[in-house]
Amino acid sequence: MRSQIYFSDMKKFQFPGQTNFYAGKVRDVYTIDNKFLVMVASNRISAFDVILPRPIPFKGQVLNQIAAYMLEQTKNICPNWLLSVPAPNVSIGKKCDPFKIEMVVRGNLVGHAWRTYQQGRILCGETMPDGLKENDYFPTPIITPSTKAAEGHDEDISEKEIIAKGLATKTDWEILKKYTLALFEKGKQLAEKRGLILADTKYEFGKIDGEIVLMDEIHTPDSSRYFYADGFEERQSRGERQKQLSKEFVREWLIANNFMGKEGQQVPEMSEEWVQVISKRYIELYEKLIGTAFQPLELNDDVTEIRVKDALKEL
């Protein structure tokens, strides 16, 4: 069962030239003149395709600022959608015609890949090597795409199925693969400089005038999983849990409380203490990954609206 309740921790804006509005699981998206998007990162948090009942302080700012930083760091690898960041939790960029697939890339056997590995060796048409332990490195990173579902759960899909269903041409698929692996390599290098291991992540792409463009957020804790590099090998050799910075700890808490987004399951209650723990973990990842102290800044809705309108005038 997917939650249909899109509670808001922010005002619903009306911008000049606005032609559409969409409330996503964690972001509100405004289309301007059918050419640009204003993406407002809320403090909502989702897991297993369900919106959890309480917002997380500063989560929107963390995600938006990490994504903006990473898009700047990778723009020489692949063109991207971003034009400006007029407010801490707001990005403005070009509207793309999206591919209805997510390019999931994995350097380590963790999360969904590990759960699949325990049942077999095939994931999205990729045969995973025998003899691996949870969190081990793959010999080389693997791409395990999923469908981009408007409703319900995303589903694993193979390269063969993507092309057969017309979700991408063979030519476009080769470009998507090239960009995905190059972006992942850059993400790993950036993480390594900060004492982290980028274990897995996902990228979303679209087209503008026939050109493939990177869109959405990248290398954030919502779209990526990071391990601490210090002590990683020792923990692996002893069979200990890895220290990680990602949203996986939220999923693990839900699983421990008997929730995986399935029909009939109830989202567990979130205490104020737990909400603050999640917020601190998001801020910790920002500071660890970016290398600067997080400056919490919550603008009121009126100031945010003025900043966005001023930025739109510059387009």
3-state DSSP assignment of residue 236: helix
Is 242 among the domain residues? yes
Contact 60, 42 (CB under 8 A): yes
| CATH code where residue 192 lies | 3.30.470.20
Is 237 among the domain residues? yes
**What pLDDT, on a 0 to 100 scale, did the predictor assign at position 164?**
97
User: Domains in the chain: how many in total?
Assistant: 1
pLDDT in tens, the chain (315 residues): 333 333 445 678 999 999 999 998 889 999 999 999 999 999 999 988 889 999 999 999 999 999 999 999 999 999 999 999 999 999 999 999 999 999 999 999 998 999 999 999 999 999 999 999 999 999 999 999 999 765 556 799 999 999 999 999 999 999 999 999 999 999 999 999 999 999 999 999 999 999 999 999 999 988 999 999 999 999 999 999 998 887 888 988 999 999 998 989 999 999 999 999 999 989 988 999 999 999 998 788 899 999 999 999 999
Domain that holds residue 223: 98-246
CA distances from 125 to 66, 101, 154, 157, 235 (A): 32, 15, 16, 8, 30
Contact 18, 37 (CB under 8 A): no
**What pLDDT, on a 0 to 100 scale, did the predictor assign at position 7?**
44
Is 170 among the domain residues? yes
**What pLDDT, on a 0 to 100 scale, did the predictor assign at position 149?**
64
Is 201 among the domain residues? yes
Is 44 among the domain residues? no
Contact 64, 41 (CB under 8 A): yes
Could you tell me the two tokens for 65?
């600022």
Closest CA to 201 of 312, 193, 186, 48: 186
> Concatenated DSSP letters for 65-77?
HHHHHHHHHHTTT
Is 31 among the domain residues? no
Is 277 among the domain residues? no
3-state DSSP assignment of residue 144: coil
How many CB atoms sit inside 10 A of residue 66's CB? 23
Is 196 among the domain residues? yes
Contact 25, 44 (CB under 8 A): yes
